[in-house]
Amino acid sequence: MKIEGFEVNPQLDLVLDRTVDVPVELVWKAWTEVEHLVKWFVPKPWSVAHCEVDLRPGGKFNTVMRSPEGQEFPGSGCYLEVLPNKRLVWTSALLPGFRPAPKAVNTHELLFTAVISLEAVSKGTRYTVIAIHPDPETCKAHSDMGFTDGWGTCLDQLVECIKNGEIA
């Protein structure tokens, strides 16, 4: 299966493919501006305690998720492709500046690359996420963590923020 130029391997990759009735430009904005990311990026009642965005290949995409109990989970990422209103790619395999991530960092974190593809369609935006993993074990772990529900819930939150005018 090929999505937006990416070969999807069902044993290694997870896909969320939905169409949402909001404009592609606002979905891009939601994904790329810190003030908006914090509103929807983690499923409530979890929250984003901190977020840093340096929107360029090699730039930083760091987030700190906070559990309802107040425990914090930092995630370090690096942007790989930044194609406005079209595609955003980042990976947890690299730190900012394209530095390979040391094994010790973010041991709670999954090793994966995220490809967010957007396409303007008559009903709004076709929104496709591909989560690309190094091996079947990591893919299964991500699936068991609830990839589809989790990313789906976040997308619902994103759409709601656009519809209620929080992201405009």
**Which residues here bind a copy of itself, judged by CB under 8 A?**
6-7, 12, 57-58, 80-81, 89, 91-95, 97-104, 111-113, 115, 132-135, 138
> Beta-carbon neighbour count of residue 86 at 10 Å?
15
CA-angle at 24, arms to 152 and 145, nearest 5°: 15
Q: How far is the CB of 119 from a copy of itself (least distance, A)?
A: 18
CA quadruple 131, 135, 138, 139: dihedral sign: positive
Q: How far is the CB of 133 from a copy of itself (least distance, A)?
A: 7
Q: In this complex, which beta carbon is closest to a copy of itself, that of residue 16 or of residue 114?
A: 114
What's the CA gap between 148 and 168, in Å, rounded?
A: 26
Q: In this complex, which beta carbon is closest to a copy of itself, that of residue 89 or of residue 162?
A: 89
Q: How far is the CB of 139 from a copy of itself (least distance, A)?
A: 11
What's the CA gap between 75 and 16, in Å, rounded?
A: 21
Q: How far is the CB of 104 from a copy of itself (least distance, A)?
A: 8
Strand, helix or coil for residue 95: strand
41 neighbors 32 (Cβ within 8 angstroms):
no
From first CA to last CA, the distance across the chain in angstroms is 34
Q: In this complex, which beta carbon is closest to a copy of itself, that of residue 70 or of residue 102?
A: 102
Q: In this complex, which beta carbon is closest to a copy of itself, that of residue 6 or of residue 40?
A: 6
Q: How far is the CB of 102 from a copy of itself (least distance, A)?
A: 4
Q: In this complex, which beta carbon is closest to a copy of itself, that of residue 60 or of residue 66?
A: 60
